[in-house]
Amino acid sequence: MNVHSARELARVHQALAEPNRIRILKMLEIRPLCVCEITAVLQLAASTVSKHLSILREAGFIVDHKDGKWVNYQLNEHPDPKVVGTCFSHLARLLTNDETVLSDAEKVRSVDRHQLCK
Amino acid sequence: MNVHSARELARVHQALAEPNRIRILKMLEIRPLCVCEITAVLQLAASTVSKHLSILREAGFIVDHKDGKWVNYQLNEHPDPKVVGTCFSHLARLLTNDETVLSDAEKVRSVDRHQLCK
DNA sequence: ACTACATTTAGGCAAGTATCGAAATAACCC
DNA sequence: GGGTTATTTCGATACTTGCCTAAATGTAGT
């Protein structure tokens, strides 16, 4: 669905108005991740990461799936509202050379929830 | 130029994360406007509008030109960073049926700085 | 230079946000 | 069922933001 009001559109952009949330979306471009993996990369409290994820979920950017004691988050393949989808395609082209994003990507590739969580 | 970091990109989105700033951009799609015209439409204090405009300017969305005692603001035709330009093209397609935006547009067409400012 | 007025800056207040640690919840394993 | 662990919710704190009023700045016309 299209966004209906300036207020709704503002909320979508608000979700992207925080660097750590952008880093999370760039990480999820690589693969679905659970909260503890994201927490390990961002070096924030788990509760903080959980909050960021709920903001991204409510804005329509990501969806979650339970997997035992883990919760996997991934990019929403059927973005709603539509503007979220266009944000995705920009995001995919942006920050491809950003140091932090590149280093996050490397950590994503090496991180493993089974080693992480004892 | 492309945006360099998640922080910079967040700042661009932060500019669009406020309904009144989105309304301002939709108004400027119609024509350049001075601060007092925007103030008359939004019904906010002039200083508040001025602050919103400076946020939009610093994010690269608008430029200003002095015109006597007025300052005209208009959409930046050479948006920098590039992502600002893509935001413009989405914005142009969004909120075309929003009541507030339509009513703002009507006011923009009837407002006149010379009548407004005695 | 003086006045008028559009705009910006400064100061203050209320509401919202990012963060943490601790407590609550949920799901696994023994 | 009881212990363990991943996640979310709650409460507190520091910071940021949006708004206003008042003061400062800049420009035009007399």
Tally of domains in chain A:
1
pLDDT on residue B21: 98
pLDDT in tens, B41-90: 999 999 999 999 999 999 999 999 999 999 999 999 999 899 999 999 99
DSSP-assigned beta bridge partners for residue B74: B63
Strands (E), chain A: 33-34, 62-67, 70-75
B117 assigned to some structural domain: no
Which residue range(s) make up the domain with B14? 6-112
pLDDT in tens, A60-77: 999 999 999 999 999 999
Q: Name residues of chain A where pLDDT drops below 50.
A: none
Give the CATH number for residue A67.
1.10.10.10
Name the average pLDDT for chain A: 96
How confident is residue B117, by pLDDT bands cut at 50, 70 and 90?
A: low
Q: Sort out which chain B residues have CB atoms less than 8 A from A81's CB and list them.
A: none
CA dihedral (B84, B87, B91, B93) positive or negative: positive
A22 → closest Cβ in B4, B10, B20 = B10
A54 touches strand D (CB under 7 A): yes
Nearest nucleotide (C1') to the CA of residue A47?
Answer: D8
pLDDT on residue B1: 85
A29 assigned to some structural domain: yes
B81 assigned to some structural domain: yes
